[in-house]
Amino acid sequence: MKAWIWSVKRLLSRAGWMGIVGITLIAFSGAFYLSSVVPEQNRLEQLKLESTSLRHRAQVALSNGGIGKANNTETQLAAYYRFFPQAIDKNDWLAKIYSAAEHQQLVLETGEYRFIPDQNKKLSRYQIILPLKGTYPQIRKFANEVLTEVPVAAIDDISFKRETIGAASLDARIKLTLYFGAP
């Protein structure tokens, strides 16, 4: 065992510092190849197989006439309207909006709420105007969280007002619309 260690030391002393750097780079590149390149090659192969499968499924769908009779425009439109929750669930969605404001430590003042039923009984709207106090990043994160957590929400308008130039907090007014399906 000691003879092996002695021969490695002798080899390294003969190679000098440039040889040691070269051997280190070779070892590092081998480790990098095994830890990064090989797993990504496997992932690439999986993606190629998935792409081939999807391409095959698309060709089968096209050969069967594309959009089938059971999947016509009226059916798609009906499925679209079924996506929206009932208006009776609006308190759950409002709780998510208030939770988003709480996460961002925003001050919610008295808001305006107005329910607008649809004449065609397809989609109803619930308009909410919320005055907020906080910093610009807080308000922006609030808007992002609302759009992420409440998929039936849309931001119609947002306005900012700062009392003085040096003030850190803003007064904002955000107008949201929640869309609900017909009962």
CATH of the domain at 96: 3.30.70.60
The pLDDT-based confidence of 70 (bands split at 50, 70, 90) is: low
Would you say residue 76 lies in a domain?
A: no
At 176 the pLDDT is 93
Same domain, 23 and 92: no
The pLDDT-based confidence of 71 (bands split at 50, 70, 90) is: low
Would you say residue 141 lies in a domain?
A: yes
At 131 the pLDDT is 92
Same domain, 155 and 115: yes
What residues form DSSP beta bridges with 157? 175
At 66 the pLDDT is 56
Same domain, 43 and 94: no
Would you say residue 26 lies in a domain?
A: yes
Same domain, 176 and 91: yes
Same domain, 120 and 169: yes
Contact between residue 77 and residue 122 where contact means Cβ atoms under 8 Å apart: no
Would you say residue 77 lies in a domain?
A: no
Same domain, 90 and 57: no
In angstroms, the CA 122 to CA 127 distance is 16
The pTM of the full predicted model, rounded to 2 decimals, is 0.57
Same domain, 48 and 106: no
Contact between residue 146 and residue 158 where contact means Cβ atoms under 8 Å apart: no
Same domain, 11 and 89: no
Same domain, 159 and 94: yes
At 156 the pLDDT is 93
Same domain, 90 and 176: yes
At 82 the pLDDT is 78
Would you say residue 23 lies in a domain?
A: yes
> What is the domain extent for residue 96?
84-181
Would you say residue 19 lies in a domain?
A: yes
Average pLDDT over residues 17-39: 85
Q: For 116-133, what is each residue's pLDDT tens digit?
A: 887 777 888 889 999 998
At 1 the pLDDT is 66
At 76 the pLDDT is 77
* Per-residue pLDDT at 8 exceeds 90: no
At 173 the pLDDT is 92
Q: What is the DSSP letter of 162?
A: -
Would you say residue 97 lies in a domain?
A: yes
CA distances for 19 relative to 26, 45, 95, angstroms: 11, 37, 66
Same domain, 108 and 176: yes
Specify the number of domains making up the chain: 2
Same domain, 96 and 135: yes
Helix segments in 33-154, DSSP class H = 38-63, 73-83, 90-103, 136-149
At 68 the pLDDT is 52
* Per-residue pLDDT at 54 exceeds 80: yes
Average pLDDT over residues 27-40: 87
At 73 the pLDDT is 78
At 146 the pLDDT is 92
At 108 the pLDDT is 80
Would you say residue 131 lies in a domain?
A: yes
Cβ neighbours of residue 108 closer than 8 Å, sequence gap 6 or more: 98, 101, 130, 131, 132
